[in-house]
Amino acid sequence: MQEFRIEDANQYVGKEVTMKGWLYNKRSSGKIKFLLVRDGSGIMQCIVFKNNVSPEKFELAEKIGLETSLSITGIVKEEPRAIGGYEMDVKDFEVYQEVNDYPITKKEHGIEFLMEHRHLWIRSKKQHAILRIRHEIIKACRDFFDMNGYTLVDTPIFTPNACEGTTTLFETKYFDTSAYLTQSGQLYNEATAAAFGKVYCFGPTFRAEKSKTRRHLMEFWMVEPEIAWANLNDVMDVAEDFITFIVKRVLDNRKKELETLERDISKLEKIEKPFPRITYEEAVKILKEKNVDFKDGDDFGGTDETVISESFDKPVMVHRYPINIKAFYMQPDPENENLALCVDVLAPEGYGEIIGGGQRIDNYDLLLKKIKEHNLPEEAFKWYLDIRKYGTFPHGGFGMGIERCVAWICGIKHVRETIAFPRMLHKIYP
Ligand code: 4AD
Ligand code: MG
């Protein structure tokens, strides 16, 4: 193991350290070789002077290729012009494995090639920055709920029933019967909310999405709070606080990575409460004003969401969609039964939906009617109906897709770069 981390170089100025890592880049100028070494926490320029090492070592420094693994010893110095602000005067180094044919070179590669080499591509600077921001976002999600009285209750991956419609289910064998991979932990959250009041679950979710878009993965991570006694407005209040908290956390802790991605930080600095709240009808009006070909009553497609979200510089909360285009569990609006008390949060800059949620049906008879209308197997939902039989309560919550949130905050186009090993339509390698 190694004790020293490039990220902590400021604590080691003037000291001799041994660093283990991989050759990220190199250049040479006569009697000096500059080895750029990365250790997972950062990149450091290591300077090999011809006179400081043996002739064989100096030659080796010339020979080794990108991603050679090595251990390198020297004195840490402050150097504002160097990448990361510190560099190393090398005393000696040992090569663990010399590499001379690393497939990803400094030239441009096509996306097909990079995705085939995803297991190596994640070592590059930009991918590294994205995945670190992803980690920060996940940590922020957990901290937000942990600090606000929510209990984390994990929900199952193998499920007997659908949550988000039957068209995107992944079916799998389960001994002598079949099961589905979970589309959302929500239904179980509703049961645990009755036990703990405020809960969240956080895990992988699965959707056999037949469409190939920049927003859809087959396997994605979702964080889902569920709150007893919450109505739609409460749900929107929580979503707004939650997103604001996450963005601030990334700005506070991952500015360097945002800069690596050349993210326009001023756009993220605008993310403050309150977020605009508009009805589905008002969102449709925006589309009409912008001459988008859209049929009133339909669900928004990716491009519709892009157009709506481009009209705001903060996330916009679109509520009260037609109930017939939404999931079976949505509470109807008492003022207009054709509308659902639901909300989608659309991220700005054209990113579109990152959160979906709302208030759930809490009446037994109405829920049973909806299950039948949606042609869902009543038997599999018996336990879910029980929640409305034994001390029913108004409640609501939402789910946020981590990858969509990462794409927006990082300012990258496609969700395939927001998870280490994306599962995409017909693609499961590596
Ligand atoms: O809007 P969705 O389908 O809502 C639910 O699953 C609710 N049961 C959540 C709840 O209320 N507890 O999905 C929620 C979010 C979307 O807003 C989006 O961010 C993400 O999950 N999402 C996907 N992300 C990547 N690839 C996909 N195929 C996604 N489908 C949904
Ligand atoms: Mg949705």
Give the model's pLDDT for residue 139.
98
CATH assignment of the domain containing 248: 3.30.930.10
**102 in a structural domain:** no
If you measure from the C-alpha of residue 224 to the centroid of ligand 1, how many angstroms do you get, rounded to a whole number?
9
**Ligand showing the shortest atom-to-Cα distance for residue 395:** 1
Give the model's pLDDT for residue 60.
96
350 and 397 together in one domain: yes
If you measure from the C-alpha of residue 368 to the centroid of ligand 2, how many angstroms do you get, rounded to a whole number?
22
**273 in a structural domain:** yes
Give the model's pLDDT for residue 310.
93
143 and 244 together in one domain: yes
Which residues of the chain are under the pLDDT cut of 50?
Answer: none
pLDDT digits (tens, 9 = 90+) for 258-313: 999 999 999 999 999 999 999 999 999 999 999 999 999 999 999 999 999 999 99
If you measure from the C-alpha of residue 331 to the centroid of ligand 1, how many angstroms do you get, rounded to a whole number?
18
Q: Enumerate residues 6+ apart whose C-beta is below 8 A from 340.
A: 320, 321, 322, 323, 326, 330, 331, 332, 333, 358
In angstroms, the CA 374 to CA 187 distance is: 16
Give the model's pLDDT for residue 107.
86
82 and 152 together in one domain: no
Q: Are 43 and 24 contacting, i.e. CB atoms less than 8 angstroms apart?
A: yes
Among residues 38, 63, 97, the one where a domain terminates is 97
**112 in a structural domain:** no
**DSSP H/E element including 186:** helix 186-196
87 and 124 together in one domain: no
53 and 132 together in one domain: no
| Average pLDDT of every residue of the chain | 96
401 and 349 together in one domain: yes
130 and 162 together in one domain: yes
**235 in a structural domain:** yes
**Peptide bond between residue 274 and the one before it cis (omega within 30 degrees of 0):** yes
132 and 279 together in one domain: yes
Q: Please give all residues whose beta carbon lies within 6 A of any atom in ligand 1, as ranges.
A: 163-164, 184, 186, 207, 209, 216-217, 220, 222, 224, 353-357, 397-401, 403-404, 415
83 and 144 together in one domain: no
In the chain, pLDDT over 90 holds for what percent of residues? 95
Closest Cα partner for 409 from 217, 42, 41, 134? Answer: 134
**106 in a structural domain:** no
46 and 151 together in one domain: no
How much is the pTM?
0.97
Among residues 44, 66, 97, the one where a domain terminates is 97
Ligand 1 pocket: which of 150, 159, 183, 184 to mutate (most atoms within 8 A of CB): 184
Nearest CA to ligand 1 atom 17: 355
Angle at 374 between CA 370 and CA 375, to 5 degrees: 115
pLDDT digits (tens, 9 = 90+) for 70-86: 999 999 999 999 999 99
154 and 223 together in one domain: yes
Nearest CA to ligand 1 atom 27: 216
In angstroms, the CA 225 to CA 238 distance is: 9
Angle at 294 between CA 219 and CA 213, to 5 degrees: 25
Overall number of domains in the chain: 2
CATH assignment of the domain containing 52: 2.40.50.140
**Ligand showing the shortest atom-to-Cα distance for residue 399:** 1
In angstroms, the CA 261 to CA 26 distance is: 22
79 and 166 together in one domain: no
Range of the domain at 401: 118-417
Among residues 64, 97, 130, the one where a domain terminates is 97
**429 in a structural domain:** no
Q: Enumerate residues 6+ apart whose C-beta is below 8 A from 344.
A: 300, 317, 318, 319, 321, 353, 355, 356
**Ligand showing the shortest atom-to-Cα distance for residue 185:** 1
If you measure from the C-alpha of residue 24 to the centroid of ligand 1, how many angstroms do you get, rounded to a whole number?
37
**Peptide bond between residue 322 and the one before it cis (omega within 30 degrees of 0):** no
